[in-house]
């Protein structure tokens, strides 16, 4: 357990909880640095295959940057290179992360969720990029990710007004994957993780890397060049690449390891 977060491990799944409910899980540099360390360890651990991030309490996933800390002259040094919650500027993580959004996800909090691969939202979740209302801008990826995820005019409708979008509308727009009753949020997030774990971790890493990096390549033929995605080569050299077809032929569940063949 950290000072600003909690982590729990269940098999191949790491669940990380932002633990500052007294400030709606807003984050200052020390909290971001602590979370960055958690995700560094997650990335380096070969036995952790899926991550889940959520917020403590029932009010907020994260209200983003701790403006009160900043306005009161709090120490703003030590912000990690990997960004809010150690995720918004982390571009080299091929393991999937699920955001379990339990309440308000504003500004940097919304940007944390957008940096994840799947967003599972409580019915009471609210999303917004309200930075212009306080003379700021969503510079931790919100202005870049949201227009890549949903239609431009819908994204600009949120960006230029700072309006709050409920979970149901977020799903209609396309940035929320799943909306669930509040009491079932973590159960549903774990169910998504369980479905991912049914797949080869080497395949999942290769798939995430190819899907993410290909967004930057306009030409379809060029984007399909396997040489640009080293995780695909890792998949071809993995035990899973042999185990998957073998298990299928033998009509049994596969025994995934995600590890390279010896």
User: Which residues are part of the catalytic machinery?
Assistant: 111, 131
Residues 6+ apart with CB under 8 A from 201: 12, 49, 95, 240, 256, 257, 258
Residues 6+ apart with CB under 8 A from 128: 105, 106, 107, 110, 158, 162, 163, 164, 165
List strand residue ranges (DSSP E) for the chain, in order.
5-10, 13-18, 50-55, 60-62, 97-101, 104-106, 118-122, 126-128, 165-166, 178-180
The alpha carbon of residue 18 and the mean position of all alpha carbons in its chain are separated, in whole angstroms, by 13
Whole-Å CA distances, 30 to 111, 141, 197, 240: 18, 20, 32, 39
Q: Rg of the chain over CA atoms, in angstroms?
A: 19
| β-bridge partners, 126 | 104, 166
């Amino acid at each position: 357990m950290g000072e600003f977060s909690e982590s729990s491990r269940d098999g191949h799944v790491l669940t990380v909880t932002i633990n500052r409910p007294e400030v709606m899980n807003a984050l200052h540099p020390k909290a971001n640095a602590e979370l960055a360390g958690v995700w560094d360890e997650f990335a380096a651990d070969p036995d952790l295959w899926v991550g889940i991030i959520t917020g403590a309490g029932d009010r907020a996933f994260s209200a983003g940057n701790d403006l009160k800390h900043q306005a009161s002259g709090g120490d703003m040094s030590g912000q990690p290179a990997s960004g809010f919650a150690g995720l918004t500027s982390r571009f080299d993580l091929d393991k999937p992360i699920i955001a379990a959004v339990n309440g308000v996800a504003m500004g940097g909090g919304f940007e944390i969720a957008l940096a994840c691969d799947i967003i599972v939202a409580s019915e009471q979740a609210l999303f917004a990029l309200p930075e212009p209302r306080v003379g700021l801008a969503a510079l931790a990826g919100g202005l870049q990710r949201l227009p890549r995820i949903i239609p431009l005019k819908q994204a600009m409708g949120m960006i230029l007004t700072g309006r709050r979008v409920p979970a149901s509308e977020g799903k209609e727009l396309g940035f929320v994957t799943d909306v669930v009753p509040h009491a079932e949020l973590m159960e549903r997030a774990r169910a998504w993780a369980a479905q991912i774990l049914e797949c080869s971790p080497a395949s999942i890493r290769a798939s995430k890397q190819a899907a993410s990096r290909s967004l930057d390549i306009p030409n379809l033929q060029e984007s399909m060049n396997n040489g640009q995605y080293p995780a695909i080569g890792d998949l071809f050299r993995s035990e899973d690449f042999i185990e998957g077809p073998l298990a299928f032929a033998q009509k049994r569940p596969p025994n995934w390891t995600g590890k390279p063949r010896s």
